[in-house]
Amino acid sequence: MEERRIECKVLKRIREKKELTPQELQFITKVAKEELKFLARNNIPLTPENYVLWFEIFCYIMENNLNLSDLEIIGLFKEKYPTSEKVESILVSVDPEEKEIIRKVSEKIVEEVNTLIETLETHNRNIEEKEASFKEIREKVSDNTVKELLGKILSELSDIKKQNEDLKSKLEEANAQINKLTSELEETRKEASTDFLTQVANRASFDRAISDLVNDFYKRNYPFVLLMIDIDHFKKINDTYGHQAGDFVLRELARLLKSQLRARDIIARYGGEEFAILLPGITFSQAIRVAERLRRTVEKHLFKYGDREIPVTVSIGVAPMREGLDETSLVEKADKALYLAKRSGRNQVKTDLDVELEE
């Protein structure tokens, strides 16, 4: 018997980096709603990991129009993820795009739940008004049959009100769980794109950002410039003052550089003691002035670790995005300019044009 493939076509499209249609995004929201009901009903914690694993199951169910009991759904989960190793392999492969989809869906569901809670509150206020009105009428009528009928109506209104209160309570609880999930996803996203030591963007985040800017350059001729920055004699700093002092220098330098940039500029730790800065919407000459300002700021800054002052300077390579370049060749040009700055005595700014003149 052929083994069935339990997979979600929509998630497959996300993993292939294909743009989703509005209908597919709407479908994802429906899947998420059914999944949330199931997780809440079965007391399964709403963690990002659980959300991702169960989403694939519910997506498969809805794509194939299956009508399954909770027990059968759990059986499907065990079939899809028979071992803890299989679960781990799936979670390791989850990329930021999928988490971003989950975050958007969560936000939409929260919005809908909040609207529903407001509707229930309005409905309950209306019921209370009707109850008060019926009680007043019952007090005024003398006919026992009418009184009995009004009593039944009041009893039913009271039951409806209680059911609404129970539903509201459950919705508020689900809302709190979804908000927690959204918060955890945001934290996960932040951790996935931030360098732990320096708290600026990491290499993966930089790669995504430069790719976006290159695409923008070719689509609408939007300029940007890349700066590659390296700490001069960093090994000597580590050897002289210790690795903890070296970590302090990296953190303080990242903070200092970031403080000198615009909100839309992107600074990332490229690797080791090297940083990369993307300057969107800026000319080549403006970028050279920015690089020189950064170099002087670092040179004048007091890097004090404990009671010791650490002299720190940086070398900077500058390369603007030009026709015919891609991400790799642009980084190579900025790197060559950086190495020229180091060969020329360090604590300098050099550009890709300086490299061409040297050659």
> Is 191 a known active-site residue?
no
- HSE-CB at 217 with a 13 A cutoff on CA atoms is 24
Cα R_g (the chain), whole angstroms: 30
Closest CA to 174 of 100, 101, 110: 110
Task: Judge whether 347 and 315 are in contact, CB under 8 Å.
Answer: yes
Read off the tokens for 170: 């459950």
Would you list the DSSP string of 284-321? Answer: HHHHHHHHHHHHHHHHHS-EEETTEEE---EEEEEEE-
Read off the tokens for 236: 């000597």
Instruction: Give residues with Cβ within 8 angstroms of 330, minimum separation 6.
Output: 210, 214, 226, 319, 321
Report the C-alpha gap between 218 and 229 in whole angstroms.
Answer: 26
Q: Which of 252, 273, 327, 358 is catalytic?
A: 273
E strands present in the chain: 224-231, 266-271, 274-280, 303-305, 308-310, 314-320, 349-351
E strands present in 182-265: 224-231
Q: For tokens 């989950």, what's the residue?
A: 102
Mind telling me the catalytic residues? 273
